[in-house]
Every structure is written in C-alpha cells, then in structure tokens.
Amino acid sequence: MSNALTRTDFRFPKQKSVYHGKVRDVYNINDDLLVMVVSDRISAFDVVLPEGIPYKGQVLNQIAEKFLDATADIVPNWKMDSPDPNVTVGQMCEPYKVEMVIRGYLTGHAWREYRDGKRELCGIPLPEEMVENQKFDEPIITPTTKADEGHDEDISRDDIISQGLVDKVEYEMLEDYTRKLFQRGTEMADEKGLILVDTKYEFGKKGGKIYLIDEIHTPDSSRYFYADGYEKRLKNGEKQKQLSKEFVRQWLIENGFQGKEGQTVPEMNEDFVISVSERYIELFEKITGDKFEKSDTSKIHSRIEKGVTEYLVGQV
C-alpha cells in the first residue's frame, strides 16, 4: 500500500506552535504565516478512522488551491503558495467567530430541521410544502457559530450583529462575498455537470482587510449532486447521486458503526483503503476537470519538510 500521511510533527523555521485537527495540521510561523499540511487522515461521525487514505490530502489541498485561485478576484484569500502537493502556506488572519454556510437546496441539516416541523432556519423563513433536495428560489445563508468545543450552532444574522460577533458593516460584506463565491462555484460546477448544493466559507481579518481563509469547495466542506437525472430523482422522491465522502459513512453504517458509544470502527482492509483512495481521485478529476497526478509518496515527510523549509527561508 502507498504511504499515507497520517501524522506530522515538523519543526519549521520560526515555528511557534502547531494545531493538529482531524485532517489538517496547521503550523504557526512567527505569528505571521500559516503552514497548512493536509494529511491523509479521514474522519466520519466525528471520529478519525484508523487508516489513512493515500493521496486524499493531495486531492483536498489541490482542489482548494484551484478554487482559491479561481475566486481571488472576488475576495482576497489567505493563500500565498503551495510548496508541496499536500501543503498551502498563507497569511495568518484573525478568524471571524462565525462560519458562513450557504445553501442552494433543502438538504442535509436544513432538510432534517424542516422535516421535523421547523419553518425558520437562522431567522430565515422557509416556504411550506418543500421536499428533500428541492432547490430554493434563492440561496439562503445560514451561519453557524465556531465552537471551541462541541458542535457549531445555528445563529441568525441579527444575533451575530447584536452579540457583537461581527459588526453590521463587515457582516454585510461577508454575506456579499459568500453569495458571489457560491455563484462562482455554482458556475464552475455546472461546467462539469455538477450542482454545488451547499458549502461553507470561513473569513478572517489581517491589517484591517478581510480575507477568505481555510479551504473552499472541496468534498469536505461542500456537497455536490450530479446534474444529470437530478429532476427525475427529485420528482420520483429518490436519493440524489452525490459527489462527497458519503460512501465512507454508508460503509461504516453497513458495518455497524455510527460513532456511538460502545461501537468499534470496522477493519479497513487494504482493498477498501485503495477503493476509497481511487474514489477521492475520481472526485478530484470530476470537480476540477483536471487529470490527477500522483505525487511521490515514498518519502513523504522529508519531501514536505524540504519543500516547506526552502519556501519559508525566502519568506521569514
């Protein structure tokens, strides 16, 4: 099996700290730059699974890189360069304490709330008699708080402003950026025969300027449907064909795991790991329209350390 990047513990020039997330390891360089290493770890049901997925980190990093570059005319973003297939280096910003979630369709969390009888989400009224996966007349923005611990919570625009999480003028700018980014992502997805269903954006501030931060339009942060057959499936009440990591969740469910107490993660044998890796590569090629070029993973840690260190020496 190819080498999967499941743990990093680098010491880069002028490094001050490191944050190990579920998938990404983020290195603070002199309180000025961030080195985001996208690992091959995979999580589901808030659990990091025991086996890494070869090339998954490269897939996610390079999808995000493509969309950051393709939207830089809408809003400045944190990305400066990608000195390795698994790494993005960029500006360290002060994150806003909300995530901007935008939904073009009634699905996922929004559908579950609607199915349970709610007709308002984040202060936005929802029409009666909608069905799962139906398109909204206009995309709706349903922000969430960014929780230090536990789950993010839905919050309304008015509460964000009244609680001082973001001031009114800046929040209106975040909403404007969110709509424009979603529109661009929708157009790019449409060119590939896909529907960008919903997604989330994170923003930060540096030197009084707003930046788009983190990653965008990857299968980790976004949901895609295949456009072909969407209307027919909607009319027949069938599940939509998705482009996401939903297939991993389904495999876990079929093998008796949903992240609940007392449950054990099923064994991920080599054939399954390879199949997931191939699926992520398929995701990459479908979303970007580019051919995926596998990086050399034989010495992946030293490859990353060398590429990042050489880049930082010229920056810090």
The DSSP-derived string for 179-244 is HHHHHHHHHHHHHTTEEEEEEEEEEEEETTEEEEES--SSTTTEEEEESTTHHHHHHTTPPPPEES
Mean pLDDT over each residue of the chain, to the nearest integer: 94
Question: Which two tokens mark 246?
Answer: 């939903």
Q: What is the mean pLDDT of residues 202-228?
A: 95
DSSP letters along 69-124, please?
HHTTTTS-BSEEEEEETTEEEEE--EE-SEEEEEEEES-HHHHHHHHTT--EETTE
- The reported pLDDT for the residue numbered 50 is 94
Give the pLDDT confidence score for residue 149 in this predicted structure.
Answer: 59
Residue 275: closest CA among 299, 309, 247: 247
Name the residue ranges covered by the structural domains of the chain.
96-242
How far is Cα 134 from Cα 219, in angstroms, rounded to an integer?
A: 20
What number is the average pLDDT over the span 31-39?
97
The pLDDT of residue 315 is 79
pLDDT tier at 313, thresholds 50, 70, 90: very high
Quick one: average pLDDT of 208-235? Answer: 95
* % of the chain surpassing 70 pLDDT: 97
For residue range 230-272, what is the model confidence (pLDDT) as tens digits?
Answer: 999 999 999 999 888 878 988 998 999 988 899 999 999 999 9
pTM: 0.92
- CATH class of the domain at 96-242: alpha beta
The first and second tokens of residue 17, run together, are 């700290």
Does 111 score more than 80 pLDDT?
Answer: yes
Q: Are 309 and 11 in contact (CB under 8 A)?
A: no
pLDDT value for 150: 58
| Cβ 184 vs Cβ 104: under 8 Å | no
Q: What integer pLDDT is reported at residue 2 of this predicted model?
A: 64
* Three-class DSSP category at 139: strand
Question: How many other CB atoms sit within 10 Å of the CB of residue 109?
Answer: 14
Instruction: Calculate mean pLDDT across residues 70-98.
Output: 97
Give residue 267's pLDDT. 93
pLDDT at 151 over 80: no
Among left, alpha and beta (phi > 0; psi -120 to 50; other), residue 183 is: alpha
Residue 141 CB: number of other CB atoms within 10 A?
A: 17
Strands 24-29, 98-105: parallel, antiparallel or unpaired by DSSP? unpaired
CB 61 within 8 A of CB 85: yes
99 residue type, one letter = E
